[in-house]
């Protein structure tokens, strides 16, 4: 068979891009060689609708074992009683949960997208805002942090059936106990989407959502450093609180409802090669070195935040507890779009991002989001974070000087050679 040189040339170019630059997108990371090996394995050939030992296809004896291994390792990693590792993404994990426990038109309460929330937490352009009635809570203008008492006030006013916590651009830890009290006050279920800080939660560096939240979803990449995918978990199974019935009329435990929300509710055959890669990532995350890694991620993020503040940048909430931070560039008279496009010329990758109470469109934005997970995987430490911020500041303050941008890019490319990636 003739080799597809066009696509493999592009893959090689992406390989070089990742090697040469500084990766600061908070939702990205670098997986290990064995995670990539599992994703590129023959398991991609197997169709396996259903659950381990309950498939609709024959020949699933081996993938039953690999998927069960992923489930068992995830349970051990998070202290969960029930796990479904089949969702193709975090968005599909959230969709499956909502399909399982909500009816179209039910009320949901989520963290405002423009304040750092996620599309699947009720955004009007997303299924979650189109199928359900969303309301939102946000951060305080003065502090950039969530006021938990106000969340309860919104819950008591709106009386949602589901409260969602978690974010894509919020740098502080979550008060899950206060959110559970708000949920209990109105008879709502509480869903924690821990897609971003999952790795730091698994290693005990942040508050444990499983103690208070009925259901937990996550992606398996980002700080978990696995393949791109999703997962749904519960610390303990429980009878569904709404008396939801199957077409046959019987009541189900919540785990059964959630399994059905994934398949056949929102997906067909699971990606068994990706599930095997999830199992590999969970195995890595159970090692002592991974706990050291997440601690370094947190330290690096805190040094990054301080370095930005020392140079006059405004960090929303004035710092970070996790792996990311949101920077308001209006005090520097810059837009997020300009910053993203300029930094890429120096091989520094970030993403533009809305900031709370933004006066610009989502396509321009007033902010940027920075994360420490990928550079920490690469081996950078605290002393390197100040150098990164120096590069960012130099580029942004000289965004119209192509000579400085080119010189900075060469410096970065040379520096990154000290931090190799991959074994090939």
319 and 191 part of one domain: no
Q: Does the active-site annotation cover 391? A: no
275 and 295 part of one domain: no
Options 28, 47, 145, 382, the catalytic residue = 47
Residue 22 lies in a domain: no
Options 46, 73, 152, 222, the catalytic residue = 222
262 and 395 part of one domain: no
364 and 279 part of one domain: no
Is 187's pLDDT higher than 80?
A: yes
276 and 298 part of one domain: no
Q: What is the pLDDT of residue 414?
A: 98
Task: Give the DSSP per-residue string, 305-323.
Answer: HHHHHHTTPEEGGGS-SSS
Q: Which of 266, 286, 306 is the last residue of a domain?
A: 286
Binding residues: 113, 117-119, 361-363
Burial bucket for residue 135 (CB in 10 Å: 0-12, 13-18, 19+): middle
CA distance readout (Å), 207 to 38, 79, 291: 31, 14, 15
Residue 7 lies in a domain: no
Q: Does the active-site annotation cover 181? A: no
Q: Does the active-site annotation cover 223? A: no
For 173-194, b where at least 16 C-beta lie within 10 A, e where not — what string? ebbbebbbbbbeebebbbbbbb
Is 143's pLDDT higher than 80?
A: yes
Residue 9 lies in a domain: no
193 and 49 part of one domain: yes
- Average the pLDDT over 199-217 and give the result: 98
Is 358's pLDDT higher than 70?
A: yes
Q: Does the active-site annotation cover 272? A: no
41 and 154 part of one domain: yes
307 and 372 part of one domain: yes
CA distance readout (Å), 62 to 14, 66, 136, 281, 309: 33, 7, 45, 19, 52
- Three-class SS of 195-213: CCCHHHHHCCCCCCHHHCC
Backbone angles phi, psi at 370, to 5 degrees: -125, 140
Q: Does the active-site annotation cover 352? A: no
Q: What is the pLDDT of residue 239?
A: 83
Residue 359 lies in a domain: yes
3-state secondary structure of 282: helix
Options 112, 193, 259, 347, the catalytic residue = 193
Say if residues 297 and 223 touch (Cβ distance below 8 Å).
yes
- Full residue range of the structural domain in which residue 336 is found: 291-417
Options 219, 223, 365, 408, the catalytic residue = 219
Burial bucket for residue 404 (CB in 10 Å: 0-12, 13-18, 19+): middle
Residue 20 lies in a domain: no
- Number of domains into which the chain is organized: 2
Average pLDDT score, the chain: 96
CATH code for position 228: 3.40.640.10
In which band, very low, low, confident or very high, does the pLDDT at 338 lie, cut at 50, 70 and 90? very high
- The Cβ of residue 417 has, within 10 Å, a number of other Cβ atoms equal to 9
CA distance readout (Å), 122 to 97, 158, 201, 223, 393: 13, 14, 24, 24, 35
Options 28, 49, 81, 145, the catalytic residue = 49
Dihedral sign computed on CA atoms, order 139, 142, 148, 149? negative
Q: DSSP letter at 328? A: E
Residue 307 lies in a domain: yes
Say if residues 98 and 112 touch (Cβ distance below 8 Å).
no
219 and 250 part of one domain: yes
Q: What is the pLDDT of residues 284-315, one digit of tens each?
A: 999 999 999 999 999 999 999 999 999 999 99
The reported pTM is 0.95
Q: What is the pLDDT of residues 221-253, one digit of tens each?
A: 999 999 999 999 999 998 877 665 555 555 678
Say if residues 321 and 145 touch (Cβ distance below 8 Å).
no
Residue 296 is inside which H or E element, if any?
A: helix 288-310
Cis peptide leading into residue 82 (ω within 30°): no
256 and 352 part of one domain: no
Options 172, 228, 352, 409, the catalytic residue = 228
Q: What is the pLDDT of residue 249?
A: 55
Q: Which of 223, 251, 286 is the last residue of a domain?
A: 286
The token pair that represents 379 in the structure block = 């081996």
Residue 27 lies in a domain: no
199 and 84 part of one domain: yes
CATH code for position 341: 3.90.1150.10
Is 211's pLDDT higher than 60?
A: yes
Instruction: Provide the pairing of β-strand 82-84 with 230-234.
Output: antiparallel
Q: Which of 286, 307, 336 is the last residue of a domain?
A: 286
186 and 276 part of one domain: yes
Q: Does the active-site annotation cover 193? A: yes
Residue 409 lies in a domain: yes
Binding residues for (6S)-5,6,7,8-tetrahydrofolate: 113, 117-119, 361-363
């Amino acid at each position: 068979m003739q080799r597809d040189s066009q696509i493999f040339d592009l893959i090689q170019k992406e390989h070089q891009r990742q090697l040469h630059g500084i990766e600061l997108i908070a939702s990205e990371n670098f997986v290990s060689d064995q995670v990539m090996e599992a994703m590129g394995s023959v398991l991609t050939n197997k169709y396996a609708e259903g659950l381990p030992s309950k498939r609709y296809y024959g020949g699933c004896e081996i993938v039953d074992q690999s998927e069960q291994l992923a489930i068992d390792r995830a349970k051990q990693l998070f202290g969960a009683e029930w796990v479904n590792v089949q969702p193709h993404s975090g968005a599909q994990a959230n969709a499956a949960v909502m399909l399982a426990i909500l009816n179209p038109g039910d009320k949901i309460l989520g963290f405002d997208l423009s304040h750092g929330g996620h599309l699947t937490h009720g955004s009007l352009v997303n299924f979650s805002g189109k199928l359900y009635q969303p309301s939102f809570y946000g951060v305080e203008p003065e502090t950039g942090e969530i006021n938990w008492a106000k969340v309860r006030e919104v819950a008591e006013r709106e009386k949602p059936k589901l409260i969602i916590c978690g974010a894509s651009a919020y740098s502080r830890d979550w008060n899950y106990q206060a959110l559970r009290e708000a949920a209990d006050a109105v008879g709502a279920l509480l869903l924690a989407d821990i897609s971003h800080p999952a790795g730091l939660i698994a290693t005990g560096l942040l508050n444990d959502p499983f103690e208070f939240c009925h259901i937990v979803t996550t992606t398996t990449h980002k700080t978990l450093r696995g393949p791109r995918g999703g997962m749904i978990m519960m610390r303990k199974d429980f009878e569904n609180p709404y008396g939801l019935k199957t077409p046959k009329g019987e009541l189900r435990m919540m785990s059964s409802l959630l399994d059905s929300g994934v398949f056949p509710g929102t997906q067909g055959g699971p990606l068994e090669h990706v599930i095997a890669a999830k199992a590999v990532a969970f195995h890595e995350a159970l090692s002592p070195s991974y706990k050291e890694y997440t601690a370094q991620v947190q330290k690096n993020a805190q040094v990054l935040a301080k370095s930005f503040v020392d140079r006059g940048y405004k960090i929303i909430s004035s710092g970070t507890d996790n792996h990311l931070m949101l920077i308001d560039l209006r005090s520097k008279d810059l837009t997020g779009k300009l910053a993203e496009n300029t930094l890429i010329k120096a091989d520094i990758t970030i993403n533009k991002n809305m900031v709370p109470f933004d006066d610009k469109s989502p396509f321009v934005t007033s902010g940027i989001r920075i994360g420490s997970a990928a550079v920490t995987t690469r081996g950078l430490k605290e002393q390197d974070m100040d150098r990164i911020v120096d590069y960012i500041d130099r580029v942004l303050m000289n965004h119209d000087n192509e000579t400085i941008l080119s010189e900075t890019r060469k410096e970065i490319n040379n520096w990154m050679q000290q931090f190799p990636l991959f074994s090939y």
